[in-house]
Amino acid sequence: MPDCCNPGSARYEDVFDARFARDLARRYRRRGATRFERRMVEHLASLGVDDRTVLEIGGGIGELQLELLARGAAHTTNVELSGAYEGEAVALLEERGVARRATRIVGVDVAVDGDRVPAADYVILHRVVCCYPHAEQLLAAAARHTWRALVFSHPPRTWLTRSSVAFGNAWMRVRGHEYRGFIHSPGRMYDALADAGLAPAALSTGPRWWVVAATRAAPA
């Protein structure tokens, strides 16, 4: 398994660290998938997950992958810039008896090194584009990796989300972290998907997260 071959990884691992991973795993074991995650899983289930493959970009501990494996997905691949999730992720995969159907890749940025990542029926990015400076490039690369559909979430561009990210970034600066959050233009992100041959449509909207599905008109 490659580890931190991307020089940008350190800025993510600094913030998305072992403690962050532990908190996510504890919450998931106690309460299961969040409502945003359930929305994504339900949508993919409606398209059919049996024997399908899934690529999740920035999937953290892999809750979405566990849910989809439980529903019959053949194989999942997680690509992460932070290596701090691996212990919790592997423990969860083993607890659920699905470790052999999952691959975890660390330190590869799909927007830069897409050739190193396998394509899949479905691609997911949950709470990821707002952590990455070049959302359009990342989504275009993600779109190239899906044969059927992509689901992703992003914060809406409101004064509330912009102020909260500006406050968070100021805090990161004070703490000496290089990591920054972003509120990208939804229109430009959807255009990037449309240019790659996908048709994006919102599945749910709200003050914190919008969940968007983008389907390929004619599956490859």
Ligand X SMILES: C[S@@+](CC[C@H](N)C(=O)[O-])C[C@H]1O[C@@H](n2cnc3c(N)ncnc32)[C@H](O)[C@@H]1O
Piece of 44-52, 91-99, 125-133, 194-202 that binds ligand X (CB under 6 A): 125-133
> Per CB under 6 A, does 126 bind ligand X?
yes
Would you count residue 59 as binding ligand X (CB under 6 A)?
yes
Say whether residue 12 binds ligand X (CB under 6 A).
yes
Question: Any contact of residue 82 with ligand X (CB under 6 A)?
Answer: yes
> If binding is defined by CB under 6 A, does position 152 make contact with ligand X?
no
Stretch that binds ligand X, among 87-95, 120-128, 166-174, 194-202 (CB under 6 A): 120-128
Considering the complex, what minimum distance in angstroms separates the CB of residue 55 from ligand X?
11
What order of strands is seen across the sheet that includes strand 75-80?
A: 102-106, 75-80, 53-57, 120-125, 146-154, 210-216, 198-204
Asked whether position 155 contacts ligand X by CB under 6 A, the answer is no
Q: Which stretch binds ligand X (CB under 6 A): 43-51, 86-94, 126-134, 163-171?
A: 126-134
Q: Tell the smallest beta-carbon distance from residue 201 to ligand X (Å).
A: 21
The three-state DSSP-derived secondary structure of 141-153 is HHHHCEEEEEEEE
Q: Hey, how many other C-beta atoms are within 10 angstroms of the C-beta on 62?
A: 27
Binding site for ligand X (CB under 6 A): 12, 16, 24, 57-60, 79-82, 109-111, 126-128, 131-132, 138
